[in-house]
Each structure stands twice: as structure tokens, then as C-alpha cells.
Structure 1
Amino acid sequence: MPDGDRVHSRLTRLYQKPYKWLCEGKANSNECAWITMKALKQDIMRKGDLPVMLARYMGKSLELTIEDAGNRGSVDWTALNLEFDGLAQKTRGTHYLKELTLCAAKSVLHDVRYGQEIDTGNASEKILERYMYTLYKSEFKERIPLVIKQDTGIDEVLLNRRIEEMQPDIDATVNKWAKKATKDESVAKLRMPRRPNSKPIDLDEDLLGSIGGGTL
């Protein structure tokens, strides 16, 4: 299912290669996940630390509210939603990033309110993780159906299956990135997981092989 060298206007340049790999079907799900995570990591780093800072403020607010609720016996969820809105409005930065982070924070808030198992002691980390995944959906996953409409010969069912197959790898890596970025208070030092099918070079083995082959 080759995709040629077409460039799709609904995807930014960062995500063109992951889409091409998924369409071609030559790479397995782990390899597709790796190239997609590479694009996502670059995207996260380019967008900077505003979401890290905003997630920290919102997470602290949620943690304090839950702690206070232990004394009062109830949480004013409406007030907390409005507080999140206010934090986003007061923060200087692009509207798009503030909205993505706010959406992530309210998603976490919804889960806490309706009984999902979330460690509210690490609320900032959870909000940041949700932001990163929201960015992935917004910039790549949710754009795929729109891109498919531009293409002919694309098996939509097969493509969607490939996207779902790489989800566990993406989820695990985003979780690690959120932990590191929360600890560092920055996304500047996020690391990629080891590339599939790659292994460290064994220098002793390489040296012996060179001697045996008569190259030394």
C-alpha cells in the first residue's frame, strides 16, 4: 500500500514520515510507534515548557482541593473548573497550547470526580501526561481520517488497526516523558526509547570479528 512521496496538507511536516510508514506497511508496529514518537517528541519540545508550568499550577490546585475536601467532606467541582479556566487565562502563551493543557486538566478532573483511579498526589504529572497524549491525538491520530479522504487505495480498516497496535508503546513512552518533564520542570531533556531491533555494539565481539576477518 505505497503512499509514494505525497505530502498531506492536513499533517505537519513532522508527522508526514510516520503516516507514510503506516501506509506502506513495511515496518512493524514497534517501528511505526518509534518513528511516531520521534515526531511527537520533537513536537513537544518545540512547543516548549508552558504546558509543564500550567500543569504544575493546575495539579497543585487539584491536590490542595482534594486534601481540603478530606476535612470538609465535599469538593466544589464547578469552582475548581473555573479556577482552571482562570489559570489558563492568566498564563502568558499561545491560545492553542493553553487550550490543550486546559483540556487535559479538565479530563483528569472529570476522571477524579467520577471515580477513576488516579493518583491525585501526582496530579501535575497526570495532567502533563494527558496533555502530551492530547497533542498526539490533535496533531496526528485525529487527523488521519481527514488525510485518508485525500488518498485513494488506502485500506482505512488496516491503517486504523496499525495505529491501534502501536498505542501501547506510545502510552508507555508518554508516561515516562511526563514523569521526567515534571521532575525537570522542562521538556528539554526528553529521551527516546531504544529503537526496535537495534542493539548496543559489543566492542569485544566487534574487535574479535575484525581480527578473525583479517582486517587488523
Structure 2
Amino acid sequence: MRISFLHTMDGNRQVFEQAAKTLGLRAEDLQHEVRADLREAVDQAGTFSDELRAQTNQRLLALAADSDAVILTCATLGPAVADIRSPRVPIVRADVALAAAAAEAGGRIVVLCAAESAIESTRKLFAEHASKSAASVEVVHVGHVWALFRAGDVQACLAATALSADEAYEAGATVVAFAHPWMAPAADLVQKGRRPLDSPSAALHVATRRFSERSGHA
């Protein structure tokens, strides 16, 4: 199975490759395209314009032409997927896959979100999925984690993420979800509760399941 990824951060390549390895997927079957310029254009314009949505769709369709599934790893560009009608292969939004996995887990969901700009869209997305079950959602802003991430202090950033997850479990969370793909490695450091949900694993589970369903192997 060949999977292509559209990233806006080069660092996300590694966390998705690690998640794929855990699922038994081969590195040579993964293709990565990094388009930081698309995310930067959205930030500069202050909106995800029709032109930028069209550019995003163009890249997704180009990747789909040579893949069995495509995963869009940037939540900011996510809405563009809705514009693609009946794609020839599954096109998966990593953030949607994560929200769906959290809703399926149910109970009290705590989402750790580092970037303040992403809080509202994250809350809306998770609430939308949780409304289909009896789950409740709380989005917790972990600004100190974002500061460490921006400073490039990876180990301290992941340790702080894990500590925030432990605190959420101690406060009664049923499941913790990491809003950003780069948080995924912190799951190995969490001491309390179940393993937190991360978007690389959630997205790859959805992509492989949809591929199997289309191939008649489900």
C-alpha cells in the first residue's frame, strides 16, 4: 500500500513515518510532500481563500494519482478536502481522524492544544464528532508546550506534553488527545491513564481501513 502525505511542517514527516512503522508499513511505500508555503500564505492572508483551497486540492489530487491513499496532516488546510468529490483514493484529514477516534473512545475527552490560533477550530471539530455519542470535550491550551516547541527544545516540549496528559488523567479524563501531530512521541512518556490518541496513528488507521474496504479485503 502506497501512502502519500501533504505536510506544511517538515518535522511532521518523521512522526508519521514512526506511526507507519508501528503499523508495519514500509518506509519505501511512503511519499512526503512539504508545502510550508501554503500554510504561510493562509497566515499572511488571515483566511483560507478560495485560491489557496484550490492550490491545496491540486496538490492532493496530484498525490492521489500515484497513491493508494493520501493523508493531509495540516489542520489549517483541512477544509479543502470537502471540495474534492469522489476522489479515486481515500483522502484523509489527520485532524478529523483524531476527532473521530476520540469520540469513539467516548467518556470525558481532553484535547491538548499548544497553538492558541488552533483552539477554536479544534474545539469545534471535536465537539462535532463527540455530539454523535455521549462524550464530552474539553480543549486545554498548553501554551508553555508551544513556547518550548517554538524554541526548538524538543525533549522538554515532549516531556511537558506528557506531564499535561498525566495531569488531565489525574483530573478525571477518560482519554487524552494530542491536537498537533508533532506531539505524538510524547505518548511514550505518559504515566497515567491509557495511551493518548495522536493524529498520525489515527490517520493511518483510517487510511489503511478505507484502502482495505475498497480493495475488498475488509
TM-score normalised to the size of structure 2?
0.31
Bigger Rg, which one:
1
Comparing both chains, which one has the higher relative contact order based on Cα–Cα distances under 8 Å and sequence gaps of 6 or more? 1
Higher helix share goes to which structure? 1
Higher strand share goes to which structure? 2
